[in-house]
Amino acid sequence: MTDASRALRRSAITAGAIALLDALVFNQGFVSLGVVFVALLILLPRALWVWRDRPLCQLRLATTWVYLATALLAVGFVKFNNRTGKVRAQALVRACEQFKAKHQQYPDNLEALVPDFIPSVPSPKWVSCLSPNVFSYSSATGQHRLEYVAIPPFGKVAYVFEEGRWRFRD
């Protein structure tokens, strides 16, 4: 294995670890966006600076591409994961509204929706390691609310059924 291929392999492992950490643990995309900016503002100019040394330039461009590609994949996964949470939350809101239409009141808990309105209570996202990956439903004080963590660790969104709208909580 040549020095260039070892360097590229190290870059791929590092970029992959950063992307996995950002996508699967943090689930925010901020780290990956930082990597994109570093790749575009530092790594790419650094690669182009040595354009006369073709092998070095190609290695640096390949390294830049590896960081960009893995960071963009992580951002895409985070967006997909967050969209999944939103779609599943909207499905639960519809199920609660259907429950209310049938029983003239909102359910006391999400399990009351199973199996007549939904097959099972879903988790909001595919992966969310820093925060609880569950929907929270409360019916206390005459106000019914569905919550989940949209942006870990503290960014909760809540749907207040009596108001018919979403609110960002934290």
Chunked into runs of 10 residues, the chain (170 residues) has average pLDDT values of 87 91 81 93 94 93 95 91 91 95 93 93 76 81 86 83 86
Q: How many domains does the chain have?
A: 2
What pLDDT is stored for residue 126 in this prediction? 75
What pLDDT is stored for residue 170 in this prediction? 64
**128-137 confidence digits (pLDDT tens):** 565 567 899 9
Residue ranges making up the domain that contains 94: 81-168
Radius of gyration of the chain (CA): 23
Q: Are residues 87 and 50 in the same domain?
A: no
**65-88 confidence digits (pLDDT tens):** 999 999 999 999 888 988 998 999
Q: Are residues 113 and 38 in the same domain?
A: no
With H, G, I as helix, E, B as strand and everything else as coil, classify residue 76.
Answer: helix
Q: Are residues 49 and 108 in the same domain?
A: no
What pLDDT is stored for residue 130 in this prediction? 57
From residue 54, how far is each of 3, 58, 95 by CA, in Å? Answer: 15, 6, 61
Q: Are residues 162 and 93 in the same domain?
A: yes
Q: Are residues 128 and 159 in the same domain?
A: yes
Q: Are residues 36 and 114 in the same domain?
A: no
Q: Are residues 162 and 99 in the same domain?
A: yes
Choose one of 78, 95, 127: the last residue of a domain: 78
With H, G, I as helix, E, B as strand and everything else as coil, classify residue 155.
Answer: strand
Q: Are residues 22 and 90 in the same domain?
A: no
What pLDDT is stored for residue 141 in this prediction? 75
What is d(CA 83, CA 68) in angstroms, rounded to the nearest whole number?
Answer: 22
What pLDDT is stored for residue 132 in this prediction? 66
What pLDDT is stored for residue 131 in this prediction? 59
Please name which of 74, 20, 63, 57 lies closest in space to residue 40, comparing C-alpha atoms.
63
Choose one of 78, 98, 130: the last residue of a domain: 78
92: left (phi over 0), alpha (psi -120 to 50) or beta: alpha
Q: Are residues 65 and 117 in the same domain?
A: no
142: left (phi over 0), alpha (psi -120 to 50) or beta: left
Q: Are residues 88 and 163 in the same domain?
A: yes
With H, G, I as helix, E, B as strand and everything else as coil, classify residue 146.
Answer: strand
